[in-house]
Amino acid sequence: MSLYSEFDDPLQPHDRWMRIALAEARAAFDEGEVPVGAIIVHEGRVIAAAHNQREALNDPTAHAEMVAITQAAEHLGSWRLLGCTLYVTLEPCPMCAGAIVQARIPTVIYGTTDQKAGACHTLYQITQDARLNHQSTVLGGVLKDDCRMILQEFFAQQRALGKK
């Protein structure tokens, strides 16, 4: 069953979930982390919600997607996240795209593209590479302006403080 009819805006049904991911991005912003948020939805319910925690954990792998994938796997009791949809405010990087493939996440919805590290559409297409054992359906551009603006605001603030 489709989430929307062929006559509806295909981005619209995803707004509700992306707003939750944006709330996670705002939490990251407030903690001084790059403001990226991610949630994982399974059977119409959020089963994981996370934001970047690289600074807090001193862990280069603590991207929002990675933390959310770990939470969802724990919730489901399986590393296979079949039937799940990942919503993330920024296009996943190569590390996160690889984890998406490994976790068998069938659908990825992201907000804004990542011109420096995007691995779903922009620089690479890891999640759709037919040479890999799993591919994901990917849709970008959901609330893209909101997702882009929080990143721009964060980096403008960091530059004003003489950081990043």
Q: Output the pLDDT for position 12.
A: 67
| Catalytic member of 24, 33, 65, 91 | 65
Distance CA 54, CA 154 (A): 15
Is 91 in the active site? no
Integer Rg of the chain from CA: 15
Query: Quick check: helix, strand or coil at residue 125?
Result: coil
Q: Output the pLDDT for position 162.
A: 87
Burial tier of 164 (Cβ tally within 10 Å: 0-12, 13-18, 19+): exposed
Q: What is the pTM of this model?
A: 0.92
Per residue of the chain (164 residues), give pLDDT as tens: 233 333 345 556 899 999 999 999 999 999 999 999 999 999 999 999 999 999 999 999 999 999 999 999 999 999 999 999 999 999 999 999 999 999 999 999 999 999 999 999 999 999 999 999 999 999 999 999 999 999 999 999 999 988 86
